[in-house]
Structure 1
């Protein structure tokens, strides 16, 4: 390369370097003077993220989203929710009951509720070999008429179990009467005792010894059944009304029933059927007897 060519190359390099230096100076920003504040400096307000609360209390739903939980919040003065509607429960037509006897034996019984409050009470006692189920037709009729009814399985019979001990039977009946007297929704001042055969003897004695008993009904009673007598009970009963039902040709009846009816001091009625059997068996022989008993009680112990 000649001296002239080398000098031209050096000049070209110098020119390129000078142009690059000019470009760098033009691209550097020029500082802008900051104005001096003439008033108080206010702190910046915090930025609020405009999100709706979700149903579980967290932030995360977008603006404008529908929130049924928030929509359900009541206005001021409105109940949080509608008051519940209470549907009254129907009262059971009958209830199983247990009665504690003096020796610890548990007597099984059935209590038939009455729509009347308080209602007169009728207690029914079955005959030898029977149970409280024998009284069901009469109990249902009396319940429909507005009376409360208690039927009892005496010891050794029905669901009560145990051994038959008639010496304890009167205290067992007294326990049943005491249970009824402790009930709060019955009229214990208007109690009627009903019994069949030996149950009739027990019913008469219980009524005679209970101040709230206002009448006794006896089906096929006897002057003495297994040591439970009735002549003395008729005296103690005083002027309280009695209804006696017996059948011809029934061993000691109608003779014993005629004797007891003759001892009555107050309102008394004697019904003698023809060959109708003994005790509650007379219901099958003469079904009208059921309504006769209901009418007799209704005339003397009306439902309020």
Structure 2
């Protein structure tokens, strides 16, 4: 898929849409990776009834251009509008990892129809993209992080305080970061699906829910 950005850059992604009328999830990759890093999650999401969009952020993969995180935040909203306009798309939620996690949370907040966001290893602010306003709103957010992962661990108390009851939090022991959390907890994918569906989220024995 090719979509023009606000500044004319051609954004590139892949839409997996096996369903007719269905909700959609946009997957936003972390630093030094591309949309292909989400290959393991596409099938579980489509089998759960979602259409899925994976994207290459500017400066990565087939999108090219220079890395610009404020522009990338605008790109996420551009993709969301495009996806929402596709036939049969009922809603657009967002899931991101590391740098992609703050783009997902803030992007979902700024794209008002977005019903919920999932963030793997977020900080309050990565590269001047802050999630504070999003957390202070009423956006349902699921966060998974490791308690010795430097930046998420540093900011998590503040994140929990600001987000309050809108937050579903998975805390793991160690330093595992981003999409590697799925390898740490084989049930995390199912928990993400439940959250995106608005269902109760089961907490595995290894993680503890705090705040929310």
Distance, in Å, in 1 between the alignment partners of 2:117 and 2:12 is 22
Greater C-alpha Rg: 1
- Contact kept, 8 Å, 2:27 with 2:54, in 1: the verdict is yes
TM-score calculated relative to the size of structure 1: 0.62
- CA positional deviation for 1:266: 4.1
5+ long unaligned stretches in structure 1: 1-96
| C-alpha spacing 1:287/1:135, structure 2 compared with 1 (3 Å) | same
- CA positional deviation for 1:276: 5.3
Q: Which one of 130, 133, 155 corresponds to residue 36 of structure 2? A: 133
Report what 1:27 is aligned to: none
* 2:140 is the counterpart of 1:241: yes
- CA positional deviation for 1:162: 1.8
Report what 1:207 is aligned to: 108
Aligned residue for 1:290, secondary structure, equals helix
Distance, in Å, in 2 between the alignment partners of 1:153 and 1:112 is 15
Report what 1:51 is aligned to: none
Distance, in Å, in 2 between the alignment partners of 1:110 and 1:212 is 21
RMSD: 1.8
Report what 1:105 is aligned to: 9
TM-score calculated relative to the size of structure 2: 0.87
* 2:187 is the counterpart of 1:288: yes
- Contact kept, 8 Å, 1:239 with 1:267, in 2: the verdict is yes
Report what 1:166 is aligned to: 69
- Contact kept, 8 Å, 1:173 with 1:202, in 2: the verdict is yes
- CA positional deviation for 1:275: 2.1
* 2:141 is the counterpart of 1:258: no
Return structure 1 stretches of 4+ with deviation > 6 angstroms: none
Q: Number of matched residues?
A: 200
Q: Which one of 298, 301, 304 corresponds to residue 197 of structure 2? A: 298
Q: Which one of 5, 12, 18 corresponds to residue 114 of structure 1? A: 18
Report what 1:124 is aligned to: 27
Aligned residue for 1:252, secondary structure, equals helix
Matches within 5 A, 1:48-63: none
5+ long unaligned stretches in structure 2: 201-212
- CA positional deviation for 1:286: 2.4
- Contact kept, 8 Å, 2:77 with 2:110, in 1: the verdict is no
Aligned residue for 1:221, secondary structure, equals coil
C-alpha offsets along residues 183-203 of structure 1, whole Å, 9 cap, x if unaligned?
A: 12111xx32111111111111
Matches within 5 A, 1:5-154: 97-115=1-19, 117-154=20-57
- CA positional deviation for 1:296: 2.0
- CA positional deviation for 1:146: 0.8
- CA positional deviation for 1:265: 4.5
Report what 2:125 is aligned to: 224
Report what 2:204 is aligned to: none
